A and B are shown apart, each in its own frame.
Chain A
């Protein structure tokens, strides 16, 4: 019988799963795996800190629609991944996380670079494995891919002690069945419940749909569009749901929530029927879910039964994959939402979007900048928004057409945008990909400029520079008597020089009149580019 090493088996499994790219950072405990990886067909992207391996894998997964793979060594390599794993978990992104571990006979003795990563990552992983027998590797990896991508997607961690990577195991045929007794996600959606939902839609005089990130997880945005147009139901989006319907679509009322827009929030206030689709009603989306449920009937469609009734009581719960549920709704629902109601909410949106944004002279006005950027970028572009004021400007003013809007919605992880853009660009090299960040978040991930150079990918970066942690500054203005504590980013470096040091072209824009020209310059080639916008430090998020 042909024997292969555990490491070779791992790489073989990844190849069999059709993994083409992996993001990682090497270290001693993962060396046998990397020794096999270098001889494989898989392209390895070397990030500059492990956290960004997880973020890049997340961006890759969201654009490719397949699990993202990230790799780190034991101890600090593994613990550095944690924020990335937790961010992916909160946003239900399928990741395969592979970590090296110290020799299995030394586990628990606090040897060099030992960390209990399965224990540490437990609250943020859908599932995790600590490999104890090398011959289990093929089964574990196959199960991990199955678990991370089905049901409600999420990160799955595989911790592999170095001796397991070196142990010889019999070569195998990857085409074996898997059977996980405790894991049988329900996908179909109960047809009686769907019937009830159709009835509720028929009798409703003021229905709206709230679309969340689950619509993308189910790859159901096309079906959503079909359903919405058939039944003429207005849609509001959570931050994770931005782009499920094109921003410019007449029935799309925009993002709801504390940082959302008035037409969306007024619509949820006035509705008598709220259909939640792949949205978990987080506190930033709906501050008082109990009140909404008192006014309106709630239909909650989600693949994860635990989300239904968790944050908002549901009158008609439907557990299932939105692809199936929406297909059935399209088939069974013939009614149209009352035109009076639709006109009321869509007119409000029209008036809102035509409102003039007051322009300042000395600085770049960020909302108009985002509008101009979305007009200049190609329709299928990917915008990666970071966290903070820049995120809110991007969410509310970047118009998504057929492209995507990616951000760290649940965790609000600063520094997400650049590594996410790296992953997105590698997943879809033909599309324009732009990361928008603040001067705070840029400095959390600026080491990835090296990855961008090494990979030679045309990721565009926009920095909204206001020398502040602007979102927290606003919070302090409102709730802490305007006492500014630790929000001044003094001694910001010269970002243009930083970009130039990596060989990346860059430019500063300090007035609105230069914006168009600068965006044109940024987008005219498929090379990386950094655009620094000077933003008024007092400019608000909303």
Chain B
């Protein structure tokens, strides 16, 4: 099963290698990892997707918490989570095909961010499932390149993952 884990970390050089090193040496498989700074520039937020079971996720949370630069760890419940990935897709769309690709793009809610005589480049921010659908639809036209970010995720509702207040 896939689990999505949000981790607040100190925004230092070297923290990413501490976290990724922990995963590899404990034998946890990272499916996806995304990092970005939060509203507090001293703190970054990592979103990590792992494949595993309950035992692995419990160990992972505990081992992550042991790292000194890790401030908070939370495994997000799939039903209560909004998860997104950003993709940039370069499609062959020469004469005759451009209209069709544009229609698919519009239908799926992608944005066209670059146009040449022979290609279109689409920007798409959505769930993994819808991203895969878009890719399937575009495949017959000749996908030249796909770049995807790791998944980022946030909880639904008013709850927010924030560092515990200093005493």
Contacts and interface: CB of A to CB of B under 8 A. Distances in A.
Q: Do A and B come from one complex?
A: yes
A178 B68 CA distance: 14
A306 B59 CA distance: 6
Interface stretch (A118-126, A322-330, A507-515, A519-527): A118-126
B166 A309 contact: no
B159 interface: no
A187 to B, nearest CB: 15
A179 B166 contact: yes
B38 interface: no
Contacts of A31: none
A85 to B, nearest CB: 15
Given A118-B14, A310-B59, A304 B163 contact: no
B117 interface: no
A182 B166 contact: no
State which size class the interface on B falls in.
Answer: 20 to 34
Contacts of A118: 14
Contacts of B14: 118, 130
A357 interface: no
Contacts, number: 38
Contacts of B21: 122-123
A192 interface: no
A103 interface: no
A534 B63 CA distance: 46
Interface string B64-107: 01111111000000000000000000000000000000000000
Contact of B58 (A127, A180, A309): A309
Nearest to B21: A122
Given A118-B14, A122-B17, A182 B69 contact: yes
A181 B166 contact: yes
Contacts of B55: 309
A181 B71 contact: yes
Given A182-B70, A304-B66, A305-B65, 20 more contacts: A119-B17, A122-B18, A123-B21, A123-B25, A127-B68, A130-B14, A147-B68, A180-B68, A181-B10, A181-B166, A182-B10, A182-B67, A182-B69, A305-B62, A306-B63, A306-B66, A309-B55, A309-B58, A309-B59, A310-B59
8 contacts: A122-B18, A122-B21, A127-B68, A179-B166, A181-B10, A181-B163, A306-B59, A310-B62
Q: Which 8 A-B residue pairings sit nearest by Cβ, starting from the closest?
A: A306-B62, A127-B68, A182-B71, A183-B68, A182-B70, A305-B62, A123-B25, A306-B63
